[in-house]
Amino acid sequence: MDITLIMTIKRLTTFFPLIFLSLVFSACGSAVDAASWPGFTVDEENGTVYVAFNQAIYALQLENGAQRWRFPAENQANFTTFAPPELTGDDQLLISGYDQTLYSLNPANGNSNWTFAGATNRYIGSPSAAGGTIYAPNSDNRLYALNPNGELLWTFAAKQPLWSQPILVAETLVISSMDHNVYGVDPASGEKIWTLDTGGAIVSSPTLGEDEVVFVGTLKQQVLAINSASGRSEWSYDAPGWVWGSPTYIDGQVLAADLEGTVFALDAATGRELWSVDTEGAITGAPLVYNNHIYVLNESGQVISFTLDGTIQWTKNVEAALYGSPIAAGELILIGVGTSDALVLALNENGDTVWTFAPASQ
Amino acid sequence: MLEFIIVPFTNVLVFIYSLLGQNFGLAIIVFTLLVRLVTYPFNASQMKSAKAMQELQSNPKWKQIQEKYKGRENREKLAQEQMKLYQELGISPFGACLPTLIQLPLIIAMYWAVTRALAATPLQLLGFARGLSLPNAAELIPLNSHFLWMDLEQPERLYLDFLPIGIPVLAIIVLVTSYLQTKMMTPANPSDQGAQVGRAMNLYMPILMAYISYIYSAGLALYFVTTNVLSIAQYYITRRPTAAAKTVVPAKPKQS
């Protein structure tokens, strides 16, 4: 071998550790830059949809997708958010930050009201606001209860991160946890009322049915019906795959989907399967029921419309993996795409695109 | 790119985690140890070559060549003479880098297995869960990320009552062990260009590694510490005189 070549290779290998580090931190990264997918909240009264994605919250006009405002006005290094913002009864927009901060914004203009920085990890799930109290679940395993001014009232500690939005059912705050448990908590004091071990992590929020029964999906491939007053499991259904998204309750039926791409309908009273349909990609969101149709998104980039008996009506292909839940807004169905070409896609009931929103690059 | 290695590595790491009472810190240490054992022949060969190159710097013949062929115009001739000496002493100039290149995919896969298993966001968890093929995977997720005083998913800091700020203990240990490791592998002769670059690396590589440990998860820092400590230990265990060293030390005259 040529001497000069050998000596060059020798010198280059001296830089080997740097080359290694560059490879490690760049080449193997995910194709998706963001850590999660867009989260939506619709305020139909004001004709606005709030979209949380990556480094900003966008307030868009429902009519045409035009941007009203964004927060922060310019990208900030530490600010990241994905959970659907929560609109409170006293006109606050609550934002879950990956920067360990809960933000309260004015929904009209995006100005900051207050921040709560008492947590020690990311806010992955949305906060909820009920009965004049804000309940904010955090990845530091704690649920933070705040008054409307963002002052801490109490905390509740689980054993693993809390990624899902709690729901208030009568006198019980129900929260599902990654520690495999569903907890019933006193909303006034944060005292634990009951615990139900489901055997698998729970990523998404419980869904309220009738008679104070809530439904949860677990990574143990189950959907469970739980009495929120006692914490007793009423029934469980074994799904084909891990159930990531929240179930949806409609007229005595529970609709849910799993990471195998199966959509299924269960009898809410017994858990008996009514029908199931296989799609071609993992489903992480809750099925949307709107105008007597069911809509789901899957990782293969499909928006699928079903009739209520599980017959596929139409499928629209989008050139991106679709995660999360579709949201109904007026006459529109909003889809979170999360690519640079389209952050939000607004479809009509037939699957035709009405408008697309892509944020201006910064 | 390396999914075919990363996915099995992730499964092995989680399997070890399940065997060790769901202690992810111990699982990282044991897994790193196992990978080092599997790659021992490559590491040993690399260290042997690095050591031989270090010892070569004090070889009188090497010094003579360096002295004789000073200057830019003699670079080609110098390289030829150095190659001759390599052959004479049985040293391969690629001895230190080839084993490392072979190990590179394993090292990257190990790093990603640790990072992936610490899934801290929805997309990370989705990717992690999808790659798991253990029958009890659903019961193990999410992994318990607490180890000693650390949350392995978060940047590590040790908080003491009398100090207003947290001490980045792991980042400091990474700094020290990375310095020791890079120093061990670097030739000492100041006249050699490669050695000069190597000394610069001695300075900034540990700083870079410590900075990564300071800002990224404690799990990653724990992996760095474990692999550095094992490298240093292996270096001292495998220390033996080589052909290059033997030519340096003249035989002592027998005393009458």
CB contact under 8 A, B97 and A13: yes
Nearest to B83 among A3, A21, A199 (CB): A3
Q: What are the Cα distances from residue A127, in Å, to A81, A92, A97, A133, A245?
A: 12, 12, 11, 10, 17
Q: Are A270 and A235 in contact (CB under 8 A)?
A: yes
Query: Which ipTM score applies to this complex?
Result: 0.89
Residue B248: its pLDDT value, please?
47
Residue A291: its pLDDT value, please?
94
CB contact under 8 A, B144 and A201: no
* Per-residue DSSP letter, B21: T
The two tokens of residue A344 are 């939000």
Measured in angstroms, the CA of A167 and the nearest CA of chain B are apart by: 20
Q: Is the pLDDT at B82 greater than 80, yes or no?
A: no
Average pLDDT, chain B: 80
Q: Are A324 and A336 in contact (CB under 8 A)?
A: yes
Reported as a single tens digit per residue, the pLDDT across B170-199 is: 999 999 998 888 877 665 555 555 556 666
Q: For residue B74, give every residue at least 6 positions away whose Cβ sits within 8 Å of its Cβ, in sequence order, or none.
A: none
Reported as a single tens digit per residue, the pLDDT across B161-175 is: 888 889 999 999 999
Reported as a single tens digit per residue, the pLDDT across B51-78 is: 777 777 777 887 788 777 777 777 778 7
3-state SS assignment for residue A346: strand
Q: Are A331 and A343 in contact (CB under 8 A)?
A: no
Greater pLDDT, B249 or B29: B29
Q: What are the Cα distances from residue A300, in Å, to A74, A167, A304, A322?
A: 32, 31, 11, 7
Residue A97: its pLDDT value, please?
97
Residue B99: its pLDDT value, please?
61
Residue B197: its pLDDT value, please?
61
CA gap B49, B95 in Å, rounded: 5
A contacts of B156 (beta carbons < 8 Å): none
Confidence of residue B233 (pLDDT cuts 50, 70, 90): confident
The strand order across the sheet containing A86-87 reads A86-87, A93-96, A102-105, A112-116
CA gap A168, A258 in Å, rounded: 25
**Strand pairing of A167-169 and A172-176?**
antiparallel
Average pLDDT over residues B209-238: 87
A contacts of B6 (beta carbons < 8 Å): 28
- Please indicate if any CB of chain A lies within 8 Å of the CB of B203: no
CB contact under 8 A, B139 and A35: no
CA gap A228, A211 in Å, rounded: 9
- Please indicate if any CB of chain B lies within 8 Å of the CB of A37: yes
Nearest to A346 by CA among A359, A362, A329, A360: A329
CB contact under 8 A, A201 and B120: no
CB contact under 8 A, A23 and B121: no
Residue A118: its pLDDT value, please?
96
Residue A130: its pLDDT value, please?
95
Which residues on adjacent β-strands are paired with residue A248? A255
CB contact under 8 A, A28 and B112: yes
Residues 37-76 of B with CB under 8 A from A: 76
CB contact under 8 A, B205 and A18: yes
Average pLDDT over residues B112-141: 89
The two tokens of residue A243 are 């159930």
Q: Is the pLDDT at B1 greater than 70, yes or no?
A: no
Reported as a single tens digit per residue, the pLDDT across B44-56 is: 777 677 777 777 7
Q: For residue A162, give every residue at least 6 positions away whose Cβ sits within 8 Å of its Cβ, in sequence order, or none.
A: A125, A137, A138, A139, A141, A142, A143, A175, A177, A178
What chain A residue is nearest to B181 in terms of C-alpha separation?
A17
Mean pLDDT by groups of 10 residues along chain A of 362 residues: 55 57 52 77 96 96 96 91 96 96 97 97 96 96 97 97 97 97 98 97 97 97 97 97 97 97 98 96 97 96 96 95 95 92 94 94 70
CB contact under 8 A, B122 and A23: no
Amino acid at A219: L
Mind spelling out the 3-state secondary structure of chain A?
CCHHHHHHHHHHHHCHHHHHHHHHHHHCCCCCCCCCCCEEEEECCCCEEEEEECCEEEEEECCCCCEEEEECCCCCCCCCCCCCCEECCCCCEEEECCCCCEEEECCCCCCEEEEECCCCCCCCCCCEEECCEEEEECCCCEEEEECCCCCEEEEEECCCCCCCCCEEECCEEEEECCCCEEEEECCCCCCEEEEEECCCCCCCCCEECCCCEEEEEECCCEEEEEECCCCCEEEEEECCCCCCCCCEEECCEEEEECCCCEEEEEECCCCCEEEEEECCCCCCCCCEEECCEEEEECCCCEEEEEECCCCEEEEEECCCCCCCCCEEECCEEEEECCCCCCCEEEECCCCCEEEEECCCCC
